Amino acid sequence: MCGFVGYLGGGETQLMAPVLERMADRIRHRGPDDADYYIDNDIALGFRRLSIIDLEGGRQPILNENKTKVLVFNGEIYNYRVLREELIRLGHIFTTKSDSEVLLHGFEEYGAELLCKLRGMFAFVIWDKEAKTLFGARDYFGIKPFYYAQMQNTFLFGSEIKSFVEHPHFTMELNERALESYLSFQYSPGTETFFKNVWKLPPAHYFIFKDGKMDIHRYWSPVFSAEEDKSLDYWVDEIEKVFDDSVKAHKIADVEVGSFLSSGVDSSYVACSADVDKTFTVGFDNGTKYNEISYAKELSERIPVKNFSKTITPEEFWGNFAKIQYHMDEPLADPSAAALYFVCNTAAQHVKVVMSGEGADEIFGGYNIYKEPLAVPLYDKIPFPIRRLIGRIAEHLPKRAGINFLIRRGKRLEERFIGNAYMFTEKERKRLLKIKTDAPSPEALVKPFYDKVRDKDAVTKMQYVDLHAWMVGDILLKADKMSMANSLEVRVPFLDKEIMAVAERIPTKYRVNGENTKYAMRKAALRRMPEKWADKKKLGFPVPTRVWLTEDKYYGIVREKFLGETAEKYFNTELLLKLLDDHKNGKADNSRRIWTVYTFLVWYDQFFDEETLQSYLDKTA
């Protein structure tokens, strides 16, 4: 796990080196073990390394035999040994034992077709000196990030946006369209970022950059095609077999591998299958609802492995929140990101690599909201225009049990579900904002995903949307950025293309039903762990922000931010204060909406307040 930076164009060779080194220094946290650079008349490539495989020989950038191609790569290729042997038989000469070099020779041999041969997580570029062409790619699920920008005849790219700040051609300007979309999703959806003219390469895509033009292609896509003729036992056997194989592949390393562990089935299944020596857990001192440490310790004793845990204090959480948003690159209003920061910090004191349970919910159908289309099926027999009318009437009724059901079922799935978070509707966010933008509606942003699965059932549609939006924009963003902030590699064995090949064939009834979510996967997990963990209801990573925002101290911190200069610039602050006061006075639970706005305001200061940003520059100097 590492990080890279680079740019095409932008000045004389002797002037490129200091700029490149400053860019790489800005992401030193991604690779504190080593740094190296490549510069020619056209391109500058920088690399920061966290040594995991081939500790002595795996330095980057890596060049091929005749020095015509050069690679920088972030990630892990779990089937690199098989590919290496295949390439050697075809006549390629390797100078290292690293997985990185497989990409370079594999691209020489197969071109873009190499991507579908890979098993792993990756973002990389290969520069062809002779053809003056840059090839880049991002892994199937978007586990590893890739950003790019084209400014003043310079093409910038890398693992984190913050590295671009060091380049003299980079213009830092807030993308107000992204702010408006963020208010609905709680993260930055799509390919735009919060920085104008900075973009994200989508998962499962590659690009070719030549003569100033970017040509982007998709190389892989999940295809849900349920096989209804097979039994539950068949699918449980298949899940067990493919998961064990994935865990084994994800353990390849020349350093010790540990595992995160919460009370949920996903991380528990990983920990029980991975044969690690150490597990890591965090919680909050706000009662059992916010603290899973006892569950984790009990399971660790049963496995048995040593569990390292930490109770996060409110002072630590709030005191580190600004730094967390700086490391995130873009604002992410998921409070669990901060909890993930602390569990990564705890793990990094003992290991360099950990396994985690991300992706199981999206692949196997784990979120509780996936059960919504199955609830009260008779209600759906009422003609939709009538349900629509009932829903609109219900919107004006006092909020109580059952009213939200009527409101939501008065909308089509494509209207009401944009992912696991839906903070502000398009109408609400326009009332909240002072600025006017042409940001697309939430429905428009997820429509391409719905279009791909228009013939599937509602649960499959929701999973497909989450796989392409929520998982990439929230789950995997925080996993990468919070682990790398602590120089820790996180591996996610559920997000494996072989597991996906099994999961997309499982009938909906074995993914989500009236009994539970992730139904077949839980049956597989039950073969490894007691029912107490295998059948535990999905909780997410509970963080007590709802409670804190009713306390004077933290209410005051947020209120001050809501009355600040940035809030005044972008928001109708009287509406912000009403959200905050209604929550404190118990009139409504506005905690997630409040946190969405507060997160943006904190993030904004990290990049657009010159003094604050300079302090980060000084720390990396």
**Residues annotated as part of the active site:** 2
Phi, psi of 306 (to 5 degrees): -85, 130
Spatial CB neighbours of 490, under 8 Å, sequence gap ≥ 6: 1, 260, 344, 353, 354, 355, 356, 358, 479, 480, 483
Please state whether beta strands 205-210 and 133-138 pair in parallel, antiparallel, or not at all (unpaired): antiparallel
CB 337 within 8 A of CB 242: no
CB 325 within 8 A of CB 599: yes
Q: Alpha-carbon distance 552 to 116, whole Å?
A: 54
Q: Alpha-carbon distance 515 to 519, whole Å?
A: 8
Compute CA distances 77 → 73, 74, 103, 169, 500, whole Å. Answer: 10, 10, 9, 34, 17
Spatial CB neighbours of 37, under 8 Å, sequence gap ≥ 6: 17, 20, 21, 24, 44, 45, 46, 47, 61
Q: Alpha-carbon distance 495 to 493, whole Å?
A: 5
Rg (CA), the chain: 24
CB 212 within 8 A of CB 8: no
Q: How far does Cα 210 stand from its chain's mean position?
A: 29
Helix 80-89 crosses helix 100-110 at what angle (to 10 degrees)? 50
Side chain identity at residue 357, one-letter code: G
Q: Alpha-carbon distance 503 to 500, whole Å?
A: 5
Tokens of 180: 């408006």
CB 461 within 8 A of CB 345: no
Q: Alpha-carbon distance 392 to 411, whole Å?
A: 9
Q: How far does Cα 425 stand from its chain's mean position?
A: 23
Show the CA angle centred on residue 410, arms to residues 405 and 415, nearest 5°. Answer: 105
Compute CA distances 222 → 186, 352, 363, 460, 493, whole Å. Answer: 25, 31, 10, 12, 17
CB 254 within 8 A of CB 233: no
Q: In what order do the strands lie in the sheet with 62-63?
A: 62-63, 69-77, 120-128, 133-138, 205-210, 213-218
Please give the DSSP secondary-structure letter assigned to residue 379: G
Round to the nearest angstrom and report the end-to-end CA distance of the chain: 22
Q: Alpha-carbon distance 577 to 598, whole Å?
A: 11
The secondary structure of 115-145 as a DSSP string is GGG--EEEEEEEEETTTTEEEEEE-SS--S-
3-state helix, strand, coil in the chain (%, to 5): 50, 15, 35
